[in-house]
C-alpha cells in the first residue's frame, strides 16, 4: 500500500490515519473519518464508538500501529460490524515491517485472509 511504502513502520496510528485521509482524497475515495457510531443496548444508546474510517458507507476501516495483530483487535472490528450492521471491515496494521491487513466479514466462519496486497479488495 502506498502509505506504508512511503512511511514504513514506526509512526503512531494517528499519523497513518492522517496520511490515509490524504491518500483517499488524492484517489477520490468517499469516506468519513473518525465516524461516531452509536452502540445500542435494549433500544437505548449506550455510547458512541469511533471507527477510523467508513469508506463508501459500506466498509469499516480500523487502523493499528502494533507489533502484531491479536484476537483483541479482530474482536474490536467484528463488534464494530455488529453495532453498525455493516458486513465488511478492514483491519490494517502499519506497525509490522511489511503491511498486514485482515479483511473481515461478519458471520464468516473462515479465518480472515492476511496479505500485503490490497489490490484484490472490493
67-101 residue pLDDT tens? 999 899 999 999 899 888 899 999 999 999 888 99
Closest CA to 90 of 19, 20, 8: 20
pLDDT for position 10? 87
pLDDT for position 108? 52
Under-70 pLDDT residues of the chain: 108-122
- Whole-prediction pTM value? 0.81
Alpha helices in 8-119 (DSSP H): 13-26, 71-84
Decide which of 3.90.320.10, 3.40.50.1820, 3.40.50.620, 3.40.50.720 is the CATH code for 2-115. Answer: 3.90.320.10
Amino acid at each position: 500500500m502506498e502509505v506504508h511504502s512511503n512511511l514504513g513502520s514506526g509512526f503512531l496510528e494517528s499519523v497513518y490515519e492522517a496520511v490515509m485521509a490524504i491518500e483517499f482524497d488524492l484517489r477520490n475515495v468517499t469516506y468519513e473519518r473518525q465516524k461516531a457510531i452509536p452502540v445500542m443496548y435494549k433500544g437505548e444508546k449506550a455510547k458512541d464508538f469511533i471507527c477510523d474510517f467508513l469508506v463508501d458507507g459500506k466498509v469499516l476501516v480500523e487502523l493499528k500501529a502494533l507489533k502484531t495483530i491479536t484476537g483483541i483487535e479482530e474482536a474490536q472490528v467484528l463488534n464494530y460490524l455488529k453495532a453498525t450492521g455493516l458486513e465488511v471491515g478492514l483491519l490494517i496494521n502499519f506497525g509490522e515491517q511489511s503491511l498486514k491487513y485482515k479483511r473481515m466479514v461478519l458471520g464468516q466462519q473462515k479465518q480472515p485472509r492476511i496479505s500485503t496486497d490490497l489490490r484484490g479488495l472490493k
